[in-house]
Amino acid sequence: MNIIPIPVKRANSADQPRYEVLANHHIFFALKKAQCPLARCLSLNRPEEQPEIWQAELQVEPAKLNVASINQEELHEAFAYLAKREKGLAKLLSHGELIQALANHPSRPYWSSWDPIKALAKSHKVTITKKHTNRLDTYFSFAPQSLPRLCINTVSAEELSRHLHILPLEIGVVDQLSHQLSGSPSRPYWRDFKDVSKALRDETQFIMLKATQTILAQGFHFTPAPPPVPNTVPFLLRQMTVRALRQEADERGLVHKGMKEKADLVRLLSSG
């Protein structure tokens, strides 16, 4: 009888048990040719539901390491091994500071692709190419934890900064965003990222790219506060029509005759 088991899975059959050989076919056919009455088999339970497990067990495909959960020591060992084995990765994996930053990064449990690693590499002046990631895909996979979404209107400046560092943004961009977002007086009233972009542009001439907004949407949601009474928030006043601003001024007993520009009315009402 064969010493090495023949992996099989149960085949659909109404009349009698039937099995499909998954690997080590040469052993099966050798036993058949030798007219052996029995063969030692390893029956895998529904491998089609978790093909990656039995494929790795049978060495049909190499087992992959989860970038999001592998510990720092194992990640360093894996990179050291690949630096020697893969010529196309040797130069990339020789950047010690980048590898250290990658292994220690607090957002690693939430990574779902190579994008945050590319952003991290860029901040270290290292370029990760498509060729690199294609090769790395042979050895690594991503199964991240769920990223919590914080309320951008109420989160503290400290928590905001910490959460921004989890997202796949360049370090310089994170520092800028942290300062701009936490320092905006209109933050409690933002309804969406269109509001955020407009407020920052009006307040500090800071331009937030659409791509950045898409990334921020992964980690933040909006629960805006109602307008204060009286409404003295320039950001909210700018959203009102000239007619509504004049009506507001009348209700507060503020003199606005002669003011033709909307900006003048906003200034008047925001001053109290």
Read off the pLDDT band of 250 (50, 70, 90): very high
The structure's pTM equals: 0.64
The per-residue pLDDT for range 109-161, each reduced to its tens digit, is 998 899 889 988 988 999 999 999 999 998 999 999 998 999 999 999 999 99
- Supply 44's token pair: 């895998």
The per-residue pLDDT for range 80-95, each reduced to its tens digit, is 989 998 999 999 999 9
Beta-bridged to residue 20, according to DSSP, are: 9
Average pLDDT score, the chain = 88
N- to C-terminal Cα distance for the chain? 93
- The answer on pLDDT for 101 being more than 80 is yes
